Amino acid sequence: MFTGIIEEMGAVKALQRTGSAARLVLGASKVLEGTVLGDSICVNGVCLTVVAMGKDEFAADVAAETLKVSNLGELTAGARVNLERALQLSARIGGHLVSGHVDGVGRIREKREEGNGWRIFIDAPPQVLRYIIKKGSIAIDGISLTVADVDAAGFSIAMIPHTAKLTTLGFKKAGDSVNLESDLIGKYVERLLAGRVEGGVSLELLRKNGFA
């Protein structure tokens, strides 16, 4: 489990394809402090297991399913990525609970300056958009952010300069892909209610029961 508060940006050293899967080798420093083989590190919003380590790098195997549902397969040597170590129970949760299990890939529609920051509009696939609500939480490439607004094709977020400086979202542009993980709560609510309510779960039903 993660919080969506990025600890550092790492750099891709290699993406080694092995059949339908791959091994990702990343340069890093801060997230390696206290890390041992078998630990989890969130890479652009994807929970990966450390399978090899060096002084300033680590490697993680990426399953075929992970390559299918995320944009990790698009990474090339030199690309920067957002990194976060797994949550410790004693740590403050500054963002929201992020599982590192990506729901789908979105695409930046527009990025424009707004005040001292930026408003970013992201198109999202239907299976992700259904769980996104205004003022709710969303993980974008592993970054915990608040949804500013939602439309028929996607949603928007407001990015402050601090986030732009410390994460890859600062230099991403229109047309770039991003990994999306919607808030866990909505998915659990839908699953629990689906088996109890005839006809499934609708937005009207969620509003009636105080979930939207």
The catalytic residue positions are 2, 40, 47, 49, 63, 101, 146
- Asked if residues 26 and 111 have their Cβ atoms less than 8 Å apart, the reply is no
CA 118, chain centre distance (Å)? 19
* Full 3-state SS string of 29-57: CHHHCCCCCCCEEEECCEEEEEEEECCCE
Q: What is the DSSP letter of 173?
A: -
- Asked if residues 132 and 138 have their Cβ atoms less than 8 Å apart, the reply is yes
Residues 6+ apart with CB under 8 A from 156: 119, 120, 121, 122, 147, 148, 149, 150
- Asked if residues 200 and 194 have their Cβ atoms less than 8 Å apart, the reply is yes
Max intra-chain CA distance, the chain? 56
